[in-house]
């Protein structure tokens, strides 16, 4: 007798006696016959109980775990479910046994295109039940397939899968806030949970262990955001004696392997490339969504002679004007761009630093607006603008002006993404692009202080190294990002392998020699023992899997995710620790700390 799962049996099992285990997902009592859809992560199988077998099964309830033994039979023609692998057969049960009873679930677990989908908060509280839903199973299994494919590719290419420490030194000065772990043995001292394995994978290279990778758990104590988790997973790699091209090719190969094995699709390689400055100029973002056009076009000269005072004042004071056009079908039935949506977008754009945003639409061959006075003011230059943008009937035109080029570009870049996603007319499902040529430092426009554009361990390019002492804002880092559909999948760089240069870069960020020694002295020391040329990259696995599955919510692809408030509802964490325990075990006093929950 075969023991089968709930997605296994088909016509080839006809007449065979089988044993099956699972959860009673759907129960239908038709009087003389009882039907139960038995489910597990592989699928569902219909069980039929009649006669004495039914008497023993009448006590079964929803989500009860049972074992059934019976003979596989063909279903009646009018009851065949052609959408299911097991839909042509059923098991006529002769004997059954209760394994475990269940309370009535707080929400439906059946698959019905989201029709019965419960609120996310309650599903996260009962995540172990939510994981039984077919959609949840598909998400977790898909993640597993992607991870396995990438692992197998890296193994095949002679990468070592290594593990770096989880309890490490706090390097708060150069990153986001860290999660701190008090040490009971070393009273008053703390470990930090790693924001990434960055320094340890560099020390692996110094240790001669080239071609490292790790599916790494990382932690960042950031403010709650819709698409972020305080703990997340990275595909982390580091190599020695290789350049950017090699690292990029390894990443491309790993993603192509995931496409093939998890999606049965081919990814065209090599992926396109774009410089940081080009991405900012054309799309207003260093992570542009290239699934649609709507590039930012400079229309300063075209608008210089127009009678639109809002824009004239900016131009007269040395500012620039940019415009973009969207094939939105404005004014037509079914268009997702409405006057209210645009008014809301204009209001939202103020939070991006844009003082004013002008929007118009094309009706036939004429530019119109709400109110019409705007289009009237731009009438003398309207046709020139439409020609430069290539805007036609039904197109939406958005114009921004500002004295700060950076504010104008990045603000319009955010607006571009909002409108483009709202329209949803994409020319491809997956739009990858490498972005490189990033500045080594970001300069605070108010204070003029420097901070690393990505991390302080990135090596400057040889041709811009000369500006490090005199004009550090001109230094370009050997940095590269991989972007997919407007999301940064990951970042990487060639690292600094000279201890003197590493010290200089940290000083440029404003760190004192004392702070450098206390925070990164161990790295500087390691670099002084013959460090190879090395570099690497980290890809966000949670985001990668979500985008490849054409979904938006990364929580759906994490086994036990936190909610938007960074709470793990399934176990109630974070929890309050008593003052006595903190004092007795760790020597820590509350010192007036109050609960905020």
- Residue whose C-alpha is closest to residue 238's, from 202, 190, 196: 202
Amino acid 83: pLDDT: 87
Cβ distance 230 to 171 under 8 Å? Answer: no
- Residue whose C-alpha is closest to residue 588's, from 183, 177, 172, 166: 183
Global confidence as pTM: 0.93
Strand partners, 250: none
H or E element at residue 414: helix 405-423
According to DSSP, residue 172 is labeled: G
3-state SS assignment for residue 510: coil
Contacts 24+ apart (CB under 8 A), 318-322: 318/403, 319/401, 319/402, 319/403, 319/404, 319/408, 320/401, 320/402, 320/405, 320/408, 321/399, 321/400, 321/401, 322/284, 322/296, 322/297, 322/298, 322/399, 322/400, 322/401, 322/408, 322/409, 322/412
Could you read off the pLDDT tens digit of each residue along the chain, which spans 597 residues?
A: 899 999 999 999 999 999 999 999 999 999 899 999 999 999 999 999 999 999 989 999 999 999 999 999 999 988 899 889 999 999 999 999 999 999 999 999 987 655 678 999 999 999 999 999 999 999 999 999 999 999 999 999 999 999 999 999 998 755 678 999 999 999 889 999 999 999 999 999 999 999 999 999 999 998 887 778 999 999 999 999 999 999 999 999 999 999 999 999 999 999 999 999 999 999 999 999 999 999 999 999 999 888 888 898 999 999 999 999 999 999 899 899 999 999 999 999 999 999 879 999 999 989 999 889 899 999 889 899 999 999 999 999 999 999 999 999 999 999 999 999 999 999 999 999 999 999 999 888 778 788 888 889 999 999 999 999 999 999 999 999 999 999 999 999 999 999 999 999 999 998 999 999 999 999 999 999 999 999 999 999 999 999 999 999 999 999 999 999 999 999 999 999 888 899 889 888 877 666 666
- Residue whose C-alpha is closest to residue 156's, from 254, 235, 238, 239: 254
Pick among 1.10.10.10, 3.90.1170.50, 2.40.50.140, 3.40.50.620: CATH of 2-100: 2.40.50.140
The phi and psi torsions of 16 (rounded to 5 degrees) equal -90, 145
Instruction: Give the separation between CA 306 and CA 172, rounded to whole angstroms.
Output: 52
Would you list the DSSP string of 54-106? HHHHTT--TT-EEEEEEEEEEPPGGG--TTSTTTTEEEEEEEEEEEE--PPPS
Task: Kindly give the pairing relationship between strand 432-436 and strand 273-275.
Answer: parallel
Provide the CATH number for the domain formed by 137-275+432-580 in this structure.
3.30.930.10
For residue 571, give every residue at least 6 positions away whose Cβ sits within 8 Å of its Cβ, in sequence order, or none.
Answer: none
Structure token pair of residue 83: 């959408």
According to DSSP, residue 292 is labeled: S
**Placement of tokens 């950017």 in the chain:** 244
Q: State whether the Cα torsion 547-552-555-557 is positive or negative.
A: negative
Every domain of the chain and the residues it spans: 2-100, 137-275+432-580, 292-423
Strand partners, 26: 37
How many secondary structure helices (H) and strands (E) does the chain include? 17, 23
Structure token pair of residue 566: 């960074």
Amino acid 14: pLDDT: 96
Amino acid 588: pLDDT: 87
Amino acid 447: pLDDT: 80
Amino acid 239: pLDDT: 98
Cβ distance 158 to 146 under 8 Å? Answer: no
Alpha helices, H only, 241-392: 244-263, 276-283, 300-303, 309-316, 339-349, 372-377, 379-389
CATH superfamily of 292-423: GAD-like domain (3.30.1360.30)
Strand partners, 22: 66
Amino acid 593: pLDDT: 64
Amino acid 451: pLDDT: 87
Instruction: Give the separation between CA 397 and CA 253, rounded to whole angstroms.
Output: 39
CA dihedral of residues 115, 121, 123, 125 (deg, nearest 10)? -160
């Amino acid at each position: 007798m075969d023991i089968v799962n709930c997605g296994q049996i088909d016509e080839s099992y006809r007449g065979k006696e089988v044993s099956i285990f699972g959860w009673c997902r759907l129960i239908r009592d038709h009087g003389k016959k009882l039907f139960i859809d038995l489910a597990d992560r592989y699928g569902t199988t219909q069980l039929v109980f009649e006669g004495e077998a039914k008497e023993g099964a009448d006590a079964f309830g929803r989500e009860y775990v049972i074992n059934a033994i019976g003979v596989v039979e063909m279903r009646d023609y009018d009851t065949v479910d052609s959408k299911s692998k097991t839909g042509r057969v059923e098991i006529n049960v002769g004997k059954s046994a209760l394994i475990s009873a269940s309370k009535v679930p707080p929400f439906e677990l059946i698959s019905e295109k989201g029709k019965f989908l419960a609120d996310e908060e309650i599903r996260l509280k009962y995540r172990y039940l939510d994981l039984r839903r077919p959609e949840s199973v598909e998400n977790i299994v898909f993640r597993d397939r992607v991870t396995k494919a990438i692992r197998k590719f890296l193994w095949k290419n002679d990468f070592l899968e290594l593990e770096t420490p989880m309890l490490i030194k706090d390097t708060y000065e150069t990153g986001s806030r860290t999660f701190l772990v008090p040490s009971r043995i070393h009273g008053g001292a703390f470990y930090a949970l790693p924001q990434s394995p960055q320094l340890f994978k560099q020390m692996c290279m110094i240790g001669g262990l080239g071609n490292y990778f790790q599916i790494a758990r990382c932690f960042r104590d950031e403010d709650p955001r819709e698409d972020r988790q305080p703990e997340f997973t990275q595909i982390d790699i580091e190599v020695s004696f290789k350049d950017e091209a090699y690292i990029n090719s390894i990443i491309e190969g790993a993603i192509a392997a995931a496409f093939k094995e998890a999606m049965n699709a081919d990814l065209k390689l090599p992926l396109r490339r774009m410089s940081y400055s080009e991405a900012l100029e054309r799309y207003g973002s260093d992570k542009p969504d290239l699934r649609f056009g709507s590039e930012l076009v400079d229309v300063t000269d075209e608008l210089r002679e127009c009678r639109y005072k809002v824009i004239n004042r900016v131009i007269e004071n040395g500012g620039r004007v940019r415009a973009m056009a969207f094939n939105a079908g404005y004014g037509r039935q079914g268009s997702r761009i409405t006057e209210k949506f645009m008014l809301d977008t204009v209001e939202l754009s103020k939070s991006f630093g844009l003082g004013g945003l002008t929007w118009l639409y094309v009706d036939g061959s004429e530019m119109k607006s709400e109110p019409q006075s705007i289009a009237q003011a731009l009438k003398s230059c309207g046709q020139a603008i439409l020609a430069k943008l290539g805007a036609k009937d039904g197109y939406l035109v958005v114009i921004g002006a500002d004295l700060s080029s950076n504010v104008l570009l990045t603000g319009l870049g955010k607006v571009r993404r909002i409108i483009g996603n709202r329209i949803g007319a994409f020319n491809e499902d997956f739009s990858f692009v490498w972005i490189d040529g990033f500045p080594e430092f970001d300069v605070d426009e108010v204070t003029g202080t420097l901070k690393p554009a990505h991390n302080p361990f990135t090596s400057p390019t040889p041709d811009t190294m000369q500006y490090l002492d005199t004009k550090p804002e001109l230094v370009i880092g050997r940095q590269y990002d991989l972007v997919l559909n407007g999301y940064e999948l990951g970042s990487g760089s060639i690292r600094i392998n000279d201890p003197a240069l590493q010290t200089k870069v940290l000083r440029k960020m404003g760190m004192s020699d004392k702070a450098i020694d206390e925070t990164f002295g161990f790295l500087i020391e390691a670099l002084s023992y013959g460090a190879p040329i090395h570099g690497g990259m980290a890809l966000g696995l949670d985001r990668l899997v979500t985008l490849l599955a054409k979904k938006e919510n990364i929580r759906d692809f994490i086994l036990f995710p936190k909610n938007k408030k960074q709470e793990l509802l399934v176990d109630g964490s974070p929890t309050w620790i008593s003052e006595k325990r903190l004092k007795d075990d760790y020597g820590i006093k509350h010192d007036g700390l109050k609960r905020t929950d």
